[in-house]
Amino acid sequence: MAIKTDHLLAVDVGLHTGLALFSADARLLWYRSHHIASPAKLKKVIGKLLRDTPRPTHLLLEGGGPLAELWLREAEKLAVKAEQIHAQQWREQLFFARQHRSGPQAKREADGLARQVIERLGSKKPTSLRHDTAEAVLIGLYGLLELGWLPSWPPQTEKY
């Protein structure tokens, strides 16, 4: 069982980076998007995010390439448990096949489900939600389910 001090940082990797931080009791603490002008600036942002309080103990990345490598290297330095996944992994678990047949359709579905997650697990509702942020929220939902921090979606109890 996870200790209450554990936190999961979910990341949609890119220079337009979507981020969502969850606690071990399956609460969405915050979600946001950053546009970062260069890999060098991203490296600084990564260091800050992985050292900020509450400090993530788990990192779940969707994406690859040199930008993902920056995240993985920094996580290793800080002993943050990191895993890299593909969009198809979380989409297959959270959606029916008909809901993600095309990129635009998957993005629309992600927006709707992310809003539900924010409402059920978070506190403030978004007025607008960038697709990278919506995807980070769903990457985090996938991570919560994989870690066992959330037994099911939608949650079966009113606790969530």
- Residue spans of the domains in the chain: they are 7-147
Q: What is d(CA 160, CA 154) in angstroms, rounded to the nearest whole number?
A: 9
pLDDT score recorded for residue 100:
58
Q: What is d(CA 13, CA 126) in angstroms, rounded to the nearest whole number?
A: 21
For the stretch 66-115, pLDDT in tens is 999 999 999 999 999 999 999 888 888 887 666 656 666 767 778 889 99
For the stretch 132-151, pLDDT in tens is 999 999 999 999 999 999 99
The architecture (CATH level 2) of 7-147 comes to: 2-Layer Sandwich (3.30)
pLDDT score recorded for residue 127:
73
pTM score, whole prediction: 0.89
| 132 token code pair | 């990278």
| 26 token code pair | 């399956």
CA distances from residue 111 to 9, 30, 39, 65, 85 in whole angstroms, order as listed? 19, 16, 27, 25, 19
Cβ atoms 116, 126 nearer than 8 A: no
pLDDT over 50 (residue 160): no
| 51 token code pair | 């050292």
For the stretch 17-65, pLDDT in tens is 999 999 999 999 999 999 988 989 999 999 999 999 999 999 999 999 9
pLDDT score recorded for residue 99:
63
pLDDT over 90 (residue 128): no
Q: What is d(CA 55, CA 75) in angstroms, rounded to the nearest whole number?
A: 11
Q: What is d(CA 4, CA 89) in angstroms, rounded to the nearest whole number?
A: 26
Backbone φ and ψ of 8, nearest 5°:
-115, 125
